[in-house]
A and B are shown apart, each in its own frame.
Chain A
């Protein structure tokens, strides 16, 4: 069973289109994230949700809108796609390392979704 799964794995689209990437985790974690990895491999946090509530919202254009219908899902919707949005987007989840219930607190990543905007 895949712990963190995201779809689609590849997405090629035209500038100006709207697209969504879906993410689901079956680990029972409280917190989910979206990261963007650019061509230089920098991993940049975009959003983080804890129990469906937004807790981290980095400086990201408001064309990006996360949606968390429940704590196992965090989807990313992107409006009016631009060339600079081309990147690999990683979904991740974690359990707060402070819970003391044996969870290690590390991030579990999905396989990534490679978005190419033409």
Chain B
């Protein structure tokens, strides 16, 4: 079973639109960590955020915001006023405390921001 599901394979938006990337996870652990990574066309994998299971506060960083909801096992990522530089593949990932350093990645969402 897929532990991290990113149902949106590809999304296209016009510049300045807001866009939300969905991430649904599955775990039986009470302690776990959620992450988002960005992979721009240049290919490197860039860490964006980490959330632990005890901290359900939403986070905002500039145009980026994350909505963590344990009730729906979701950790969605919203980009406000999207820009062309936001075009990338975005990966959601889960790490469980019981399995130590095992990271489970979603299949990624490819975001294209059209100028």
Which residues of chain A have a CB within 8 Å of any CB of chain B? 31, 33, 40-43, 45, 48, 50, 55-56, 88, 90, 92, 94, 96-98, 104-109, 111-112, 114
Contact = CB atoms under 8 A, between A and B. Distances in A.
B52 interface: yes
A112 B101 contact: no
Interface of B: 33, 35, 37, 39, 43-45, 47, 50, 52, 89, 91, 93, 95, 97, 100-103, 105, 107-108, 110
B107 A42 contact: yes
Interface of B (DSSP majority class): strand
Contacts of A98: 97, 100
Contacts of B108: 41-43
* Interface-centre pick from B33, B45, B101, B110 (highest chain A CB count, 10 A): B101
A94 B105 CA distance: 15
B100 A112 contact: no
Nearest to A40: B107
B44 A43 contact: no
Given A48-B101, A56-B102, A98-B97, A106 B43 contact: no
A106 B35 contact: yes
Contact of B100 (A55, A88, A107): A55
